[in-house]
Amino acid sequence: MKHILLCTDGSRFAQSSYRYAGWLASRLEAEVDVLFVSDIRSQKVASTGNYSGAIGLGASRELLDKLVELEHEKARINHEKAQLVLQDAEAQLRAAGVTAIDLIHETGFLVDIFHRFEATADLIILGKRGEAAEFASDHLGANMERIARASHKPCLITCRHYKPIERLLLAYDGGKSCQKMLHFLVASPAFQGLDLHIVTAGKKADDETAKAHLKVAAMEAESAGFRPTCQMIPGAAEKVITQYIQAHDISLLLMGAYGHSRIRHLVLGSTTIQLLRSSPVPVLLFR
């Protein structure tokens, strides 16, 4: 994993993502592309249509000139904002020891544009919420949720406040995405030497399938030199995992994304979405 794509909007959540990106890039010796996308809607005025029939030809021309001027001014302000955000991100990454940094400013929609840069990235990092976080604190950011669904690369979803990564929790259900996560975890130099916990949520206290999954995960982690704390806990995964994070001072949750029933996801909302909403620590998702 040598190439990280860091998506930023300069918000409070983006601030903590700089520190997580710096931590990971330093341990992985990775390059970081910082992407800021100016929302094209933010520089459009209400309309630059033909008003001559309603207000007369002369007045229409004058109004059109003002609207065009306003659009240019909004574009200039957006460009200045982008440069300031990118410069701030670069300063924080360099302070964390990252030397290979590429700053990218685009105009459009992040969900559409990020695919062009995702192809060359090994990991996507972005905040759980964006600029509108103060107005919808119980919800995920729209861009975050769309990117997590659409991306084919691992995504690190960061929370508002940075916390040094010392204690990992792997939420393991034996699914393919969880297996990928486990392989990555034990092979990556980023997590060597950290305290590892592995938890499986079972349907009941004597859930033999869940215990078998947990045993497999524990053996692979131990073979890579970890001494994991393993536990099978009966209950709904989103509740079990969230409680475990708080009780054991976990600093990073690793899990497979969208590995559960498609129907359940459509009707109730997936375990992944619920965990992303409730997790007080960053979440590393694998597809």
Distance between CA atoms of 225 and 207, rounded to whole angstroms? 27
pLDDT (mean) for 249-274:
66
- Answer yes or no: is pLDDT of 236 > 70: yes
The ranges of the chain annotated as CATH 3.40.50.620 are: 3-42+77-158, 167-281
| Average pLDDT over all residues of the chain | 85
Structure tokens at 138: 């119980």
Nearest to 232 by CA among 173, 179, 282, 286: 173
Taking CA atoms, 184 is separated from 122, 128, 162, 198, in Å, by 12, 22, 23, 14
Q: Tell me what pLDDT residue 234 has.
A: 94
Distance between CA atoms of 123 and 137, rounded to whole angstroms? 26
The whole-model pTM stands at: 0.83
Range 3-42+77-158 has CATH code 3.40.50.2300: no
In tens, the pLDDT along 268-281 reads 346 777 888 888 99
Q: Tell me what pLDDT residue 268 has.
A: 37
Most confident region among 35-39, 118-122, 142-146, 218-222 by mean pLDDT? 218-222
Distance between CA atoms of 248 and 167, rounded to whole angstroms? 9
* Cβ–Cβ under 8 Å, residues 13 and 127: yes
Q: Tell me what pLDDT residue 199 has.
A: 95
Q: Tell me what pLDDT residue 266 has.
A: 39
Higher pLDDT, 268 or 218: 218
In tens, the pLDDT along 74-113 reads 888 888 999 999 999 999 999 999 999 999 999 998 888 8
- Homologous superfamily of 167-281 in CATH? HUPs (3.40.50.620)
Query: Taking the alpha carbons of 98, 227, 287, 1 in that order, is the dihedral positive or negative?
Result: positive
* Cβ–Cβ under 8 Å, residues 245 and 281: yes
Residue type, 36: F
